[in-house]
Structure 1
Amino acid sequence: MASHAPSLSYSVHRSSIIIGASPRSVHNTLLTLAVYATICRHEGSRFRYPGTRYTWEHFCDMSNARVLAQQHIWAAVTAQCKNQAFNCTNGDVFTWKSLWKVLCDIFDLEFLPFDESTDEFDVVGIMKNKGKVWDEIVEKYGLHKINLEEITCFEALNNVLDFKFQHVCSMNKSREFGFYGYIDTLKSIGMWVEKLRDMKVIP
């Protein structure tokens, strides 16, 4: 190993909130949101935003799994990227208010404005008791038999939606080094949801 050490290099890829499609990925924010929306539609309950007014109104960014993979490959075959660190986001920003509208359209749910009583809305506690409801959905739509706890993490979602700062990163260094990967975050939501449906993870 020592004889090869001088030729070894690395690259660091700092992602934001990663979204993609996976049958088991508890920290995939989109998967948790998709399950939450599916349960709300199944029960006829309100699809309430469980975050704060600050995150509802202020900018945030995400990292599409495909953009992240593209950057990994690019860095691996680009000599000037050796031993460098890069941010990796989709290259745009969004507000959770706008993303919530997209989710409502996709799952055919009523869009609800931010509720001042949201701070009292304990989505973690409510979803903790929805295991049997999810089992009913799995059975009804012939989905893969995956427990609710295997595909969601509402504690992590709570953290993401409780940021007290604008969660945005600069892609300037990546651009300067020649990486131009980009995807429209809001448009990509529908694509990933369809992928999850094709995989029989959600109906």
Structure 2
Amino acid sequence: MSVLVVGAHGVAGSAAAEHLSSHGRAVTTLARRPVALDDGGAANDRRHLQADLLDTDSIPRGALSSITEIVYAGYAERSSFGETTDLNARMLSGLLQALERDGAAPERFVLMGGGKSYGEHLGPYRTPAKESDPRLLGPILYNPQEDLVQAGVRRFGWSYTVLRPDGIIGHSLGSPMNILTGVAAFAVLSREEGVPLRYPGSLAGWNALHQATDSRILARAVAWALDAETARDEIFNVTNGDHFRWRHLWADIAAFFEMPPADPQPLDLASHMAGLGGVWQRIGEREGLREKTLDDFVRWPFVQGWMDTGYDMVQSTIKIRLAGFGDAIDSHQSVLDHLFGLREAGYIPQ
């Protein structure tokens, strides 16, 4: 089987590509950026296509002809929900056009969705959210993508699975949706400035019940979805299997960085951290970090959005468990594992 992983530099796509290739699948990755071993991108033993899905001519003719499975984790962001939704639908349409052009006959398609399908970005929503919940009035990022993939059943003859993780914890750089690098950068900068670690989100966010999906859990769910008959033409929530509150997790993060925690101090992160790029560069040069540009390491608006969310974010994972996938991890341990990984890889100091 030959699997195409789209969005191979993002936190979801990079984990999926690594897991699938390490478990015997022939993996081709596709992304706008070139191969980059140090940011979770495609490794040298995988074929990589540097291409823009908005320009199908950028995908070499015939490059997709032998693809039998697809994992789609591509994502691009614009200033409004409407623009972002339209852009991502056009990207997926571009891939489908290229597949048709090359005469590809994929048998399986796994689409990476998320909690926006339940409107968690809009405000308090029905919890626990279930895959059977009715759609919301758009623009909702994943609705047009799901429609395109479902239409592909008739167009290409594939079966599909939609996976809906939430708050993916893992390693990727330059990704617009990565909470881990934001937490790490905030802690490192606070320590450098000699101040205690204070939660920078809203007080409501500090207390709310949240959830996350470890990228390793998600990668294993992708592999399961490609193989399991019970995953055919289904939608599944996939999370770590537990929930957490920042007020409890924060002490563990402070201990990891050997810092004293202190009372929360809500901040406008994008503006407040804008003046600390030079401090990050100084740390990077002194410690020999791989990424010395703060803006390339973290996307503050995403960090702000998650930490300010002051209502419960809870998805039911009963459906995927009953279908046969039951992998789980403690979310506190997940965050600490990946912070350790960032440290070992040289992205944050010892």
TM-score, length of structure 1 as denominator length: 0.91
Q: Do structure 1's residue 106 and structure 2's residue 252 form an aligned pair?
A: no
Is the 1:11–1:84 contact (alpha carbons within 8 Å) kept by the matching residues of 2?
yes
Partner of 2:226: 76
What CA deviation, in whole Å up to 9, does each residue of 1:121-176 have, x standing for no partner? 32221211111101001011111144111111111111111223201111100111
What CA deviation, in whole Å up to 9, does each residue of 1:55-78 have, x standing for no partner? 211210001000111111101100
Taking CA–CA contacts closer than 8 Å with sequence separation of 6 or more, which of the two structures ends up with the larger relative contact order? 1
Deviation at 1:26, TM superposition (A): 4.3
| Equivalent position to 2:298, from 123, 130, 152 | 152
Is the 1:26–1:150 contact (alpha carbons within 8 Å) kept by the matching residues of 2?
no
CA distance in 1, matches of 2:104, 2:222: 26
| Equivalent position to 1:127, from 273, 293, 301 | 273
Partner of 1:176: 322
CA distance in 2, matches of 1:87, 1:53: 27
Larger Cα Rg: Structure 1 or Structure 2? 2
Secondary structure in 1 matching 2:223? helix
| Residue type at the aligned position of 1:17 | G
| Residue type at the aligned position of 1:151 | F
| Equivalent position to 1:141, from 284, 287, 305 | 287
CA distance in 1, matches of 2:310, 2:172: 29
Q: Do structure 1's residue 191 and structure 2's residue 341 form an aligned pair?
A: no
Flag the 1:171–1:178 CA change in 2: closer, same or farther, 3 A.
same
Q: Do structure 1's residue 27 and structure 2's residue 151 form an aligned pair?
A: no
Counting matched residue pairs gives 199
Is the 2:291–2:297 contact (alpha carbons within 8 Å) kept by the matching residues of 1?
no
Is the 1:23–1:199 contact (alpha carbons within 8 Å) kept by the matching residues of 2?
no
Q: CA RMSD in A?
A: 1.8
| Residue type at the aligned position of 1:140 | R
Deviation at 1:33, TM superposition (A): 0.6
Flag the 1:136–1:71 CA change in 2: closer, same or farther, 3 A.
same
Structure 1 unaligned residues grouped into runs of 5+: none
Q: Do structure 1's residue 48 and structure 2's residue 194 form an aligned pair?
A: no
Is the 2:206–2:310 contact (alpha carbons within 8 Å) kept by the matching residues of 1?
no
Secondary structure in 2 matching 1:32? helix
| Residue type at the aligned position of 1:179 | F
Secondary structure in 2 matching 1:132? helix
Flag the 1:84–1:46 CA change in 2: closer, same or farther, 3 A.
same
CA distance in 1, matches of 2:304, 2:173: 21
Is the 2:178–2:302 contact (alpha carbons within 8 Å) kept by the matching residues of 1?
no
Flag the 1:132–1:3 CA change in 2: closer, same or farther, 3 A.
closer
| Equivalent position to 1:90, from 240, 246, 253 | 240
Deviation at 1:113, TM superposition (A): 2.7
Is the 2:200–2:264 contact (alpha carbons within 8 Å) kept by the matching residues of 1?
no
CA distance in 2, matches of 1:164, 1:127: 22
Secondary structure in 1 matching 2:163? strand
| Residue type at the aligned position of 1:13 | L
CA distance in 2, matches of 1:11, 1:142: 42
Deviation at 1:23, TM superposition (A): 4.0
- Percentage of matched positions with identical amino acids: 31
CA distance in 2, matches of 1:194, 1:134: 19
Partner of 2:189: 39
CA distance in 2, matches of 1:160, 1:92: 17
Secondary structure in 2 matching 1:12? strand
Secondary structure in 1 matching 2:190? helix
Deviation at 1:22, TM superposition (A): 2.5
Secondary structure in 2 matching 1:94? coil
